[in-house]
Amino acid sequence: MLVATVALVLTLGVASRVLADRLQIPSVLFLIVAGIAIGPEMLGLVSRETFGGGLSAMVGVSVAIILFEGGYHLRLEKLRESPTALTRLVTVGAAITWLGTAAAVVVFLETSLEVGLLVGALLIATGPTVIGPILQVVTVRDHVASVLEGEGVINDVTAAILVVVIFEVFVAGNGTPAALVGDFAMRLFVGLAVGALVAGAVWLVLDRARSRPCAAALHGRLIVLAGVVVAYAGAETIASETGIAAAAMAGFVLGNVDLPSHEEIIDFLDDLSVVVLSFVFVALAALIDFADMRALGLAGLAIVVAITLVLRPAVIYLSTTDARFTHNERLFLSAVGPRGIIPASVATLFAVELQAIGRPREAQLLAGTVFLIIFATVVLQAGLARQIADSLEVSPMRTIIVGGGRVGLSLAQRLEQDGENVLLVDHDPGAVEKARKRGLRALEGDGTDADVLEDAGADDAKTVIATTPDDDVNLLVCQLAKTTFDVGEVASRVNQPDNVGAFESLGVHAIDLSMATAWSLENVLERPSLSAWMNELGRTGDVQEIEVTATDLVGKTIADLNAEIPEGVIVGLLTHRNGTTEVPTGDHELRDGDRVTFLGQTEAVDRATKRFHPHD
């Protein structure tokens, strides 16, 4: 019977993943629905008794694998994307979430401080189990993704250890409040130390097999899997609930060293995580007790509102003061903070512990509150993440700039200011480091290598721009972008005027450097005010060219549209479908397919753009 149940759970999990990929909706929504369907509330095929005493161990190992995979993908260069924001989010932000949630639970549920602190600690965690599926279907700029991924891995570890320490000190009475920090630090150190040691051992074993690639690829997967289990079990043997810290640390270390068969191991971990995520999410969702959630009544809804609409936005806005985060990106981060496996699995464990010491009401409140928050945030935040991202317009396609010299660096900064998702590629480590210091996403590699462009995301890129001082390099980059990756917009700096024709024959927008410089100097001398304003674009002023897609505006004249055009912006140019461009007068009539160029203050241009080209 147990084998049949596990097979059913895995089948539902894999089917949920396939359905999610097809509908472009995070898989956790389908996983939780599948779990509820086979649980006691509906079909009754799975209950707490189904797995006996083995569920805790199975969930523990599964979570360790998921966190190892999350840590493996958490590269140092990702952490450099928004180090200040991430640091605040996992320190001050975690503390605010913990204490704020505890206060809401105590006030609305009229329960003890101990239960409030337990629930608050559990709900610090978001985790790769819910963030990973979201980022598979929602494309955001790299600094936004790095904050979500980093928060997920780090806060999962924090939550799991903190809740154990709080239970030991405040509920079991095995310590004093003053010892809480020391106990937390000790458990964290144990987990991180064991994880680092195991990672070192795995690296040594795999490094010795480097001379045999085929064997390294095969054995590497098995050795890595063994390393995850050893790290988890070894840390748990020393101190409870330190295993996931060890697994996350082992993954992070191995993901940031030169590991043989790196790509094969990534593929293996991705496939493995799909299986264990499917199992653990469906299994735990099947154990949701809706009676516990219903018993919370309106107080439970008040806690959901407090956590999702008050605490989460406050934490995000305090953490993301960096100018790189746009207002809409901060709103997106505020709206997407679903809770996952760690709160569910640990809440189940401590609800049993509270029952055992004669506190059944508090056990019910703990389980009910945690599962209500998980259910609400997975359904509303994870399930609607793509729609939220689309409505906030935080999913720009990537712009890849090959060449990190003065031209490429300046262009990257200007495009970042315009809200583009920019990645700079250069073979020079110094240029890459310089770009990162300026807050830009940069990849070290040869832009004429198709594998490097693939790693940079050229498959899904909106634009590729070559800006190196070597025309041969630029031409090869453009050829790859056009022929291998079928990028829609390709542009290049051309250093020698005689080479412009070669670029244009490929359909590349060729910018003759000498002519561009001459034009800029002419503007400075003949049109100094305009030149100064153009240099300020992205700060106080902006120019945007868009196609008119608002059907109710087609057929109207520019004079008729005065009321539709905000103060502080003008229609500078009008480009017709036949390619002719002119400065419009009030009598010019908009036709289907016309393109309008707006010129004016940044916010006014943005409003005009959205009115004339509404988001689909």
pLDDT tens figures, 242-292: 888 999 999 999 888 877 777 778 778 877 877 887 777 777 777 777 888
When comparing pLDDT for 296 and 550, which is higher? 296
Contacts of 142 (CB under 8 A, 6+ apart): 78, 81, 421, 423, 441
Does 563 or 351 have the greater pLDDT score?
A: 351
CA separation for the pair 614, 616 (Å, rounded) = 6
Instruction: Return the structure tokens found at 345.
Output: 């699995």
Q: Is 426 helix (H, G, I), strand (E, B) or coil?
A: strand
Q: Residue 259: left if φ>0, alpha if ψ -120 to 50, beta else—which one?
A: beta
Backbone angles phi, psi at 601, to 5 degrees: -70, 145
Q: Which residue, chain included where needed, has tokens 């679903």?
A: 338
Question: Is the distance from CB of 232 to CB of 276 less than 8 angstroms?
Answer: no
- Arithmetic mean of pLDDT over the chain: 83
Report how far residue 337's alpha carbon sits from residue 330's, in angstroms, rounded to the nearest whole number.
12
**Half-sphere exposure for 583 (CA within 13 Å, toward CB):** 3
Kindly report the pTM of this predicted structure: 0.71
What is the structure's pLDDT at 535?
62
| pLDDT, tens digit (0-9, with 9 covering 90-100), for 524-565 | 666 676 666 566 655 566 777 888 888 788 888 878 777 778
Query: What local confidence, expressed as pLDDT, does residue 589 receive?
Result: 83
Higher-confidence position of 16 and 118:
118
pLDDT at position 522 is 62
Which pLDDT score, from 0 to 100, does residue 524 have?
63
| Whole-number pLDDT of residue 89 | 93
Mean pLDDT, rounded, for 21-37: 80
Supply the pLDDT for residue 616: 45
Percentage of the chain lying above the pLDDT 70 cut: 92
**Contact in structure between 490 and 518 (CB atoms under 8 Å):** no
C-alpha separations of 242 from 12, 91, 313, 323 in Å? 30, 19, 30, 36
Compute CA distances 478 → 430, 470, 494, 533, whole Å.
Answer: 24, 13, 12, 31
Q: Quick: pLDDT tens for 170-184.
A: 887 776 777 788 888
For residues 330 and 320, what is the distance between their CA atoms, to the nearest angstrom?
7
The top-scoring range by mean pLDDT among 459-463, 572-576, 601-605 is: 459-463
Average pLDDT for 345-363: 82
Contact 175, 183 (CB under 8 A): yes
Of 32-36, 441-445, 504-508, 521-525, give the lowest mean pLDDT range.
521-525
pLDDT for res 539: 56
- Cβ atoms of 345 and 60 within 8 Å: the answer is yes
DSSP secondary structure of 458-505: GGG-SEEEE--S-HHHHHHHHHIIIIIS--SEEEEEESSGGGHHHHHT
In angstroms, the Cα distances linking 170 to 113, 120, 455 are: 9, 14, 49
Eight-state DSSP code of residue 323? T
Question: What share of the chain has pLDDT > 90, as a percent?
Answer: 24
**Which range among 55-69, 206-220, 256-270, 474-488 has the greatest average pLDDT?**
474-488
What mean pLDDT is predicted for residues 184-206?
Answer: 90
Q: Which of 310, 198, 174 is nearest to 254 (CA)?
A: 198
What is the pairing mode between strands 398-402 and 569-575?
unpaired
DSSP state of 308: I
pLDDT in tens, 93-134: 999 999 999 999 999 998 889 889 999 999 998 878 788 888
Place of tokens 């690296």: 203
Helix, strand, or coil (residue 460):
helix
Q: How far apart are CA 116 and CA 105, in angstroms?
A: 5
378: which DSSP letter?
I
User: What is the DSSP secondary structure assignment for residue 557, as one 8-state letter?
Assistant: B
Provide the residue type at 260 as one letter: P
Mean pLDDT of 23-49: 79
